[in-house]
Structure formats: C-alpha cells, structure tokens
C-alpha cells in the first residue's frame, strides 16, 4: 500500500519548543534593542519621552516574538493568505480613514497607538508568496501564467502604499517580493527585465512625485544648494557622523543631537546620534551586531527543510536587511532621505512590533524545521 505521507509529522510540546528556540539569536535581538534604548535615552535627554516607551514596546514585542516562535508552522502557513487579505484591507482603510501626519496618510489610530499597516503588509506579503511557491515545480516557475497571481498580489499592496504616499516602504516591499521570487526559482533575467522597465519609466514617474519627494531627490544630488532648507538634514547628519571621530564624544555629549541640529533624531537619524557619541568603534560594533542577526536569519533559511519555511525565512531576513541598508545609506547621504527607520533602534511602535513579529516567524522556522508541511492532498 502506497505511503500517503513523505514522513510523519513530528508533534512538539511547548517545553520542547522553548528548548528549541535559538536563545543566542534572541539574545542578539535583546542587545540590539538595548542599543536602541541607549540611543533614544540620549536623543531625548533622559528616559522620557523615547527610551522608556521603547523599552515598554520591546517588552510587548518580546511576548509577540515568543508566542509566534511557538506557533506551529502549519498553522502559520494556513493563515498566510487570510493575513494577506487583512493587510490589504488595512491599507484600504488607511486610504479611506487613515490619520494624516507630515503630509502623508499612513496610520490608523487605535486609541493612543498609531498602527502603520504598510509595515505589517511586508510580512504578510512574504507569507503569501512563500505559501504560493511552496509546491512550485520548475515547470510551474517557468510558466508566466503561474507567476501572474503572485505578481498581482505584489503589485496591489505596493500601489496602495505608494498612494499614501510612502515611496521608501513601497520600494522595499517590491524588493522583498523580488527576493522571494528569486529564491523560489524565478530566473534572474525576468526580474532584471522588470527592474529595467522600472528604470526606464523612472523619469516619467518623477514628474508624478509629490513636491517633497522631488525635493529629496534634488537634495540628494546637490545637498549644498539649500543648506538651511531641503539639504539641512543630510548636511547635519554628515557633520555628526564625522565629528564623532574614532571613539566618539561620549554618552550624552553629542553636540549635533543635543543642540537640536539633527531633525527626526529619534527616528530616521538615530544611527547618527549613536555614531556621534560612540564614534567609529561604536558604529562598527553596532554594524557587527546587525550583521550577526542578518547572518543568523540566512543560516535558519539554509537549515529549513520545507520550501515554505525556507522562503519565509529568506523574505523576513531580506526585509530586515533592506531596512538596515536603506536607513544607513540614507543618513550617510548615499541615497535620498526616505523616512525609513532602523528596526529595534529607532523610535516607533509599528516598526518595532512588526520586526519582532517577523523575527518570531524566523524562530518558528527554526523551531519547526523537522515538521512536515506536506498535506496528503499534495501527494496524490
């Protein structure tokens, strides 16, 4: 009689799952959040208004992390598309009823908390794409009609995020989706062709950008042309980074930050605050910690035995990597300022809680790496 399962599903108890959690990886995340507390303490000149709220949010995020890590990966896979639908629904709600702040409509007010659905949408999109490509064969991957549904599933939230407007998050969302497509086996030239079309259409899209978005691009190219206006942020950020020297000016002794030369120092430019006070050595140490977290994510992906788990781990890790890259490149003046935070360090509830949820999914992949995600109907 033909076996109807590739291998028996291994049932894991809660205590066994807790032992299977990579507590070394969790410790790295705690250390990174600790750096965020120190930086935000300095940015606010004390535990209020940023540092204590950061610690409280991280505590809530830690509970989300552990709860997600212990959730059966089969349950997560079944919830992938319903969560995607929820994310799209929240983005539509933002367009209809969202809170407007600083010229953008990106948040939903839930009591005193402002939820930014675009942060969650990136994670939900990774879940949906990983679920779609879970049973993909080389024949299916090579069929353009098979790729059409996930392409549309990517285009819809990207378009809704662009409407807010939030160009930085929309670009990251599209790039994360592209990474999942590539990891699933989609040929690189197809993705390169899409990137080429986007590049060719960029000059046309430029004329449809908002005034502040065009100003950011022009400031990136010529920051000295308006040193007291659009170019102010980048110039002050570069001054702060350079003035930190090798060892930094010391905790709470950063002049650019404490004399309020740095705008948005608690969010977009939090790395600059840290680098000014702890210098090149401190900045390199922080980058090393971040590199360990990213490397750990890719190691979890390589150890995963199921396509869904592997693609999910890759998507989560690439998403975090892009946020780090974009934020650091932004504060160094390598790319235009785009309002992208540094996860677990910058002030902001949605970004922190979403990052912890994503890392929880990553740990769930590690905890459940021996669990089969193959249904009987998949083997008929």
Q: Which of 140-149, 255-264, 311-320 has the lowest mean pLDDT?
A: 255-264
Identify the residue with better confidence: 179 or 221. 179
How does the average pLDDT of the chain come out, rounded? 83
Q: What is the mean pLDDT of residues 15-40?
A: 94
Q: What is the mean pLDDT of residues 244-269?
A: 80
- Domain assignment present for 8: no
- Domain assignment present for 207: yes
88: CB partners within 8 A, 6+ apart: 121, 156, 157, 160
Q: What is the largest CA-CA distance in the chain?
A: 78
Is the pLDDT score of 229 beyond 70?
Answer: no
pLDDT per position as a tens digit, 106-126? 767 776 677 888 889 999 999
pLDDT per position as a tens digit, 263-289? 778 888 899 999 999 999 999 999 999
**Structural domain total, the chain:** 1
Domain holding 156, by residue range, is 14-375
Q: Nearest Cα to 83, choosing from 133, 153, 13? A: 153
Q: Distance (Å, rounded) from C-alpha 289 to C-alpha 114? A: 29
pLDDT of residue 378: 42
Q: Is the peptide bond before 355 cis (omega within 30 degrees of 0)?
A: no
pLDDT of residue 7: 37
Q: Distance (Å, rounded) from C-alpha 368 to C-alpha 363? A: 9
Q: How confident is the model at residue 65 (pLDDT cuts 50, 70, 90)?
A: very high
Averaging pLDDT over each range in 20-34, 161-175, 261-275, 339-353, which range is the top one? 20-34
Q: How confident is the model at residue 9 (pLDDT cuts 50, 70, 90)?
A: very low
pLDDT of residue 268: 83
Identify the residue with better confidence: 279 or 96. 279
pLDDT of residue 221: 55
pLDDT of residue 374: 67
Q: Distance (Å, rounded) from C-alpha 84 to C-alpha 129? A: 10
Identify the residue with better confidence: 95 or 258. 95
**The whole model's pTM is what?**
0.86
- Domain assignment present for 4: no
pLDDT per position as a tens digit, 318-375? 999 999 999 998 888 777 776 788 999 998 888 899 999 999 999 999 999 888 776 5
| CA angle 90–95–101, rounded 5-degree value | 100
- Domain assignment present for 3: no
Identify the residue with better confidence: 163 or 133. 133
């Amino acid at each position: 009689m033909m076996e109807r399962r590739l291998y028996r599903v291994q049932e894991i108890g809660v205590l066994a799952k807790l032992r299977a959690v990579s507590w070394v990886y969790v410790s790295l995340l705690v250390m990174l959040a600790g750096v965020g507390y120190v930086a935000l303490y300095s940015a606010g000149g004390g535990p209020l208004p940023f540092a204590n709220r950061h610690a409280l949010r991280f505590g809530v995020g830690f509970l989300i992390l552990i709860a997600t890590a212990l959730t059966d990966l089969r349950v997560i896979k079944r919830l992938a598309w319903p969560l995607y639908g929820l994310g799209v629904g929240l983005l539509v709600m933002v367009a209809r009823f969202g809170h407007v702040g600083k010229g953008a409509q990106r948040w939903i007010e839930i009591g005193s908390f402002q939820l930014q659905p675009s942060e969650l949408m990136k994670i939900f999109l990774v879940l949906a794409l990983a679920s779609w490509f879970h049973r993909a064969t080389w024949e299916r991957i090579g069929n353009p009609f098979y790729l059409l549904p996930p392409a549309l599933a990517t285009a819809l939230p990207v378009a809704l995020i662009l409407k807010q407007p939030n160009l930085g998050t929309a670009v990251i969302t599209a790039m994360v989706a592209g990474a999942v497509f590539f990891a699933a086996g989609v040929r690189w030239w197809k993705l390169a062709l899409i990137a080429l079309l986007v590049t060719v259409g960029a000059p046309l899209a430029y004329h449809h950008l908002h005034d502040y978005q065009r100003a950011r691009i022009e400031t990136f190219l010529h920051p000295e042309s308006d040193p007291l206006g659009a170019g102010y942020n980048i110039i002050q950020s570069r001054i702060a980074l350079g003035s930190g020297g090798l060892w930094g000016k010391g905790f709470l002794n950063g002049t650019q930050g404490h004399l309020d030369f740095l705008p948005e120092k608690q969010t977009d430019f939090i790395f600059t605050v840290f680098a000014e006070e702890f210098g090149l050595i401190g900045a390199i140490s922080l980058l090393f910690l971040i590199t360990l977290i990213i490397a750990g994510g890719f190691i979890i992906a390589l150890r995963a035995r199921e396509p869904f788990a592997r693609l999910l781990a890759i998507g989560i890790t690439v998403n975090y990597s892009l946020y780090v890259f974009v934020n650091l490149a932004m504060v160094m003046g390598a790319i235009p300022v785009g309002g992208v935070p540094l996860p677990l360090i910058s002030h902001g509830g949605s970004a922190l809680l979403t990052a912890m949820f994503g890392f929880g999914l990553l740990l769930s992949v590690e905890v459940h790496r021996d669990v089969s995600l193959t249904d009987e109907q998949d083997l008929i």
